[in-house]
Amino acid sequence: MNKISNRDKILTEGLKVVHERGFANASVRDIVQAAGVPQGSFTNHFVSKEAFGLEILDIYFAAGYELIRETLLNDDLPPLQRMGAYIDANMSRLNQSGMRNGCLFGNFTAEASDHSEIIRTRLVEIFGEVQGAVAYCLKAGIAAGEISPTLDCDELAGFFVASLQGANLLAKAVRNPEPVERFKHVLFSLILQRAG
């Protein structure tokens, strides 16, 4: 029982520390200190820092996927409204730290993807899952007559995922959500409206 509890503390507090400081910058000592557990506890529960990194990515993704389910994949709402709600929900999530921490997936891609093939592969899968949900929503938008049937939904979904990552990154630099708001405005006023 105690073992499970320490493991959870390391994951919960360690995710926060890595999100704030970066994966390389956050040492195992920082992580166990934040979790309030003995240093040996980390090696008891994780074979490596990389294995721990993979687990916190999955925890972060599970929370993000909840937002995706409530918005992009939510067939009870009109498709374009879902897309706007997804951007807003994501922005609110990142703005809990005044945009300072950025998106964990973007941070890991920038700093850790070249050091760990297994983390890089997982990031590619995660971006692919988000892209799939955006494409699903765009296709629903075509079916509902909200956007033009000439749109290449898969291409535009890939563009969406990358551009939102870029907006999150710039928002981290300027420490305000303006780049994300700009992405949303250009998407709706120049890409989707004109396609409609």
Q: Which of the residues 84 through 143 are near its own copies (CB under 8 A)?
A: 100-102, 106-107, 109-115, 120, 123-124, 127
Residue 88 token pair: 């807003």
State which residue, 36 or 190, has the beta carbon closest to its own copies.
190
Distances 39 to 13, 59, 83 between C-alpha atoms, Å: 14, 22, 43
Question: Taking a C-beta distance cutoff of 8 angstroms, is the pair 105, 172 a contact?
Answer: no
| Shortest distance (Å) from residue 182 CB to its own copies | 5
| Shortest distance (Å) from residue 106 CB to its own copies | 6
| Shortest distance (Å) from residue 7 CB to its own copies | 26
Question: Which conformational region is residue 36 in: left (phi greater than 0), alpha (psi within -120 to 50 degrees), or beta?
Answer: left
The Cα–Cα gap between 35 and 102 comes to: 22
Distances 17 to 4, 44, 56, 73, 90 between C-alpha atoms, Å: 20, 19, 11, 31, 20
State which residue, 79 or 179, has the beta carbon closest to its own copies.
179
- The one segment of 8-16, 71-79, 84-92, 154-162 that binds its own copies by CB under 8 A: 154-162
- Binding residues with its own copies: total (CB under 8 A): 48
Kindly write down the DSSP assignment for every residue of 65-112, as one continuous string. Answer: HHHHHHTTT-TTS-HHHHHHHHHHHHHHHHHTTTTSS--HHHHHHHHH
| Shortest distance (Å) from residue 140 CB to its own copies | 19
Instruction: Please identify which residue in the block is written with the tokens 């994780």.
Output: 46
Q: Which of the residues 160 through 189 are near its own copies (CB under 8 A)?
A: 161-170, 172-175, 179, 182-183, 185-186
| Shortest distance (Å) from residue 99 CB to its own copies | 10
| Shortest distance (Å) from residue 121 CB to its own copies | 9
Q: Which of the residues 15 through 54 are near its own copies (CB under 8 A)?
A: 20-22, 24-25
Question: Taking a C-beta distance cutoff of 8 angstroms, is the pair 57, 104 a contact?
Answer: yes
Q: Among residues 159, 162, 158, 178, which one has the least CA distance to residue 170?
A: 178
Residues at the site binding its own copies, with contacts judged by CB under 8 A:
20-22, 24-25, 100-102, 106-107, 109-115, 120, 123-124, 127, 155-156, 158-159, 161-170, 172-175, 179, 182-183, 185-186, 190-191, 194-195
